[in-house]
Amino acid sequence: MYEALMHVGLTSTEAKIYSMLVELGKAQAGILSRKTGIHRRSIYDALDRLIEKGLASYIVENEKRLYVPADPTRVREIIEREKVEIDAILPLLLAKFNEQKQKQETVFYRGKEGIKTIFEDQIAEGKDVYIIGASHHANELLKFYIPHYTNKRIKRKIRLHALYAGARHSTPVPLASVRYLPSRFASLVSTNIYGDKAAIILWMHDPVAILIKQKDIAMTFKNYFDALWEIGEE
């Protein structure tokens, strides 16, 4: 029984002593030491802490100090009080947690495997992908992977909305809406927006990327995409 009391903030020693007091009704420190096998000095220290917590008190009978347990419902009161205290600081804890989490939501990737990780994240997200500066280099650098990505995308019914610059795509892109911008918009950098995320990819021999999970940033890039889409040609 005493093990359960350890989950409400009592030490093993405190829980054993309180349980024994409940069983005995009242007892001297020496008797508690013999019954529990806990050293007498530790008994006194634990009893003092139980008194501070409101779980024990003492009376004097025949000039002897006898320790008495508090009503077990006091345990529930302690739990409820601690819950109120936790609820009071929870907003601050959540704010700090989210602040730190926000800092961790910018991830850097290097190499082809890193880019694959971003594309697999798009599949897992399951939302339409909007691409500013869709790159022809993607098929060249990931020529063995792109077909697998495309098959997964089609299976999940994830539609691409791609803005290319300059040269037309040689073959139709499955499940995609494509528009073209003037060649002056051509760049090695492309931005993939999906859900609350934006991935900025530099398509070179050893590609690098930054994945940002931040709703406001993703929305800003999406607005930029929408503006460019209006001037793009089919």
Count helices and strands in the chain by DSSP H and E runs: 9, 9
Q: Which CATH superfamily is domain 106-231 in?
A: Endonuclease Chain A (3.30.870.10)
If DSSP codes are grouped into helix, strand and coil, which group holds residue 32? helix
pLDDT one-digit tens code per residue, 179-218: 999 888 888 899 999 999 999 999 988 999 999 988 889 9
| pLDDT band with cut points at 50, 70 and 90 for residue 153 | very high
The DSSP call for residue 221 is H
Percent of the chain exceeding pLDDT 70 equals 94
Q: What is the pTM of this model?
A: 0.57
Longest dimension (CA), the chain: 102
What integer best gives the mean pLDDT of the chain? 87
Question: How is the chain split into domains, by residue range?
Answer: 2-73, 106-231
pLDDT in tens, 155-188: 999 999 999 887 777 778 888 999 999 888 888 8
- Domain 2-73: CATH architecture, name and number where available: Orthogonal Bundle (1.10)
CA-based end-to-end distance of the chain: 74
Going by their DSSP bridges, the two strands 197-202 and 64-69 should be labelled as unpaired
